[in-house]
Amino acid sequence: MRKAIVLIIFAILFIPGYSFAALVYTVDISQDTDVISGTQWAGENKSNQGANPEIEPIRANDGYNTRHVAYLGFDLFSNSALREAILRGDNIDGYRLHAYNVRNFAMGDTVIGDVATSIHYVNNDNWWEGPYLNWTGIDSFNPLDGMTYDNQVGYDEYLASENEDGINQWYAWGFSSDAFAIGGINDNPNYFSLAMVPNSLNKSSSWWLVSSFASKENQNNPHPYLEVYTTPVPEPASILLFGIGGLVMAVLKRKKTLL
């Protein structure tokens, strides 16, 4: 009987393809865009898209209510191994967004310690960064024509926040799959959209807070990427082996009790 137990344990540990360990997949960014609002640009629908090397969550108390929100899009199926995992029904447990900060600054009655960025889930994947260079005016109400502040798809659940008090370094925001809900006719479960939103700051004086990250077009610095953490779904053979092992242990325990 003990030999049988040893064989079962050996099979569980070494059977091909068997694993309950969490796996991590890396997904490169598919598109990103930086949209701006401010009363000084009323009616211009400004959008920083295309080949711009930086995406910048910005908030300012400058008399114009200037604000930037950056959107990031990740095609989960672009990683073939992750695609296979999703299609076979593996569980997605969590995510971690990585972005490389190239500069930040604070002006007025603020300090670098006030520079912080929150990550939000976006449940509308029908947007496009567009082919445009630098700040472009797009006269369209359709975000698929190139998203601007006036036609942005919005953002939903708050996921995580991080203070960017250093430059030329990576920052990361981690969150579980339970932190948001997939839903809506434009929410593709295999495409992941996020928004980088500047944190609010209540100071009455004039100030600017800027945190700038390398975009996917940046040629000199690494661009954003997403880590996806999954747990494989046990294969039927593995479940059967565990069931047999449990049954054998129960029999041995009962036999020992009777003795």
DSSP label at residue 19: -
Residue 78 to residues 29, 176, 190, 230, Cα–Cα distance (Å): 9, 21, 10, 16
State residue 13's pLDDT score.
47
pLDDT average per 10 residues of sequence, the chain (259 residues): 50 49 94 87 70 86 90 98 97 97 91 93 94 78 89 94 94 97 92 95 87 92 97 66 51 53
DSSP3 helix / strand / coil % (the chain, rounded to 5) = 25, 35, 40
Q: Where are the domains of the chain?
A: 1-18+235-259, 21-233
79: nearest Cα among 35, 42, 26: 26
pLDDT of residue 173: 98
The token pair at 173 is: 């925001």
pLDDT in the model for residue 17? 47
pLDDT, residue 157, reads 96
Nearest 10 degrees: Cα torsion 248, 253, 255, 256: 140
- The model's pTM: 0.82
pLDDT computed for residue 27 by the predictor: 98
